[in-house]
Amino acid sequence: MAVMARFAWAFGLAGAVAWIGALSVAYVVGSWSGPPTTLGVLGTALWVAWVAFDARSLADTMSTRHFRLSSGSVALQAVALLVAIVAYAVVDDRLDRTFDLTGKRAHTLSTQTVSVLQGLDAPVDVLAFFPEGSAEGLAFSRLITLYTQASANVRLEWIDPLAHPVRARTERISGPTVVLKQGDREERLEIDFTETNLTRRLVLVQSDTEHHVCWSTGHGEADPDGDATPDGYGAARNQFWLADHGSGVSR
């Protein structure tokens, strides 16, 4: 034990090096997940070992009047404060959770949407074209945030079509629009920016299947070109075209 006490300072030094490494890596990657947390735990363990093996010497030193009145006491308090701040940052980063207390679960994604997000096998780029400060943009921001929090494969980019007209023309934007891209596949959402419609587009953008809708005519069926009567299917046909996902309409 005397030998360990003699070289206990090495544990303290190694702990300091580990913590410096943890802070440096966390600063570079912008997160405490992974290696920074491991280094921080290792550094703390080494400091605990240092205190355990050299407890008597440390106690004697800190009990002296000279230490209490010197900068050593201030340094010790600063180290303790630093450790507390870092520990809070680690917990805050790793245990970031939100809770929906609304009666209708307005801020919670449906089970189906969560399943779709968990099944994303490749990143999906979501281009949100909304004028800055628009009501539709603010509402969509609240919705899409739930998606990005649920899956790292949802990559969001905001574009103000008024501030970036060239980009808007390139993407054929004529109004508030959400464009979803995965590889060479693309889906567009131009009206009714709801969870149901957005999740449907997420499903479609992952599919490379061309969809065909066939209409039977000549036997008294409703006119597929008629959208002026309740039994006309023209509106439904137009929705397939507006969906813009390669649907073919044939008779």
Tokens of 172: 């054929």
- Band of residue 246 on the pLDDT scale cut at 50, 70, 90: very low
CA 161 vs CA 24, 190, 197: distances in Å:
39, 14, 22
Q: What is the DSSP string of 172-206?
A: T-SSSEEEEEETTEEEEE-S---HHHHHHHHHHHT
Res 50 pLDDT > 90 = no
β strands within the chain, DSSP E: 124-129, 154-159, 177-182, 185-189, 212-214, 248-250
**The whole model's pTM is what?**
0.51
Task: Kindly give, in sequence order, each residue whose CB lies less than 8 Å from that of residue 55, ignoring residues fewer than 6 positions away.
Answer: none
- What is the mean predicted confidence (pLDDT) over 175-184? 93
- Band of residue 7 on the pLDDT scale cut at 50, 70, 90: low
- What is the mean predicted confidence (pLDDT) over 228-248? 54
Instruction: Point out which residues pair with 53 in neighbouring strands.
Output: none
Alpha helices in 106-164 (DSSP H): 111-118, 135-150
- What is the mean predicted confidence (pLDDT) over 241-249? 49
- Band of residue 16 on the pLDDT scale cut at 50, 70, 90: confident
- Band of residue 233 on the pLDDT scale cut at 50, 70, 90: low
Q: What is the pLDDT of residues 131-158, one digit of tens each?
A: 998 999 999 999 999 999 999 999 999 9
Q: Which residue has the higher pLDDT, 131 or 93?
A: 131
Res 4 pLDDT > 90 = no
Q: Which residue has the higher pLDDT, 125 or 14?
A: 125
Q: In this predicted structure, what is the pLDDT of residue 35?
A: 82
Q: In this predicted structure, what is the pLDDT of residue 247?
A: 45
Task: Kindly give, in sequence order, each residue whose CB lies less than 8 Å from that of residue 62, ignoring residues fewer than 6 positions away.
Answer: 68, 72, 73, 76
Ramachandran angles phi, psi of 146, nearest 5°: -65, -35
Res 222 pLDDT > 60 = yes
Q: Which residue has the higher pLDDT, 183 or 99?
A: 183
Res 82 pLDDT > 90 = no
CB-hemisphere CA count at 13 Å for 248? Answer: 7
Q: Across the chain, what does the average pLDDT equal?
A: 76
Query: Do the Cβ atoms of 32 and 94 come closer than 8 Å?
Result: yes
- What is the mean predicted confidence (pLDDT) over 57-61? 61
CB-hemisphere CA count at 13 Å for 242? Answer: 12
Res 94 pLDDT > 50 = yes
- Band of residue 216 on the pLDDT scale cut at 50, 70, 90: confident
Exposure class string for 13-37: b at 16+ Cβ within 10 A, else e? ebbeebbebbbebbeeeeebeeebb
| Three-class DSSP category at 44 | helix
- What is the mean predicted confidence (pLDDT) over 182-202? 92
Query: Do the Cβ atoms of 169 and 183 come closer than 8 Å?
Result: no
- What is the mean predicted confidence (pLDDT) over 181-200? 92
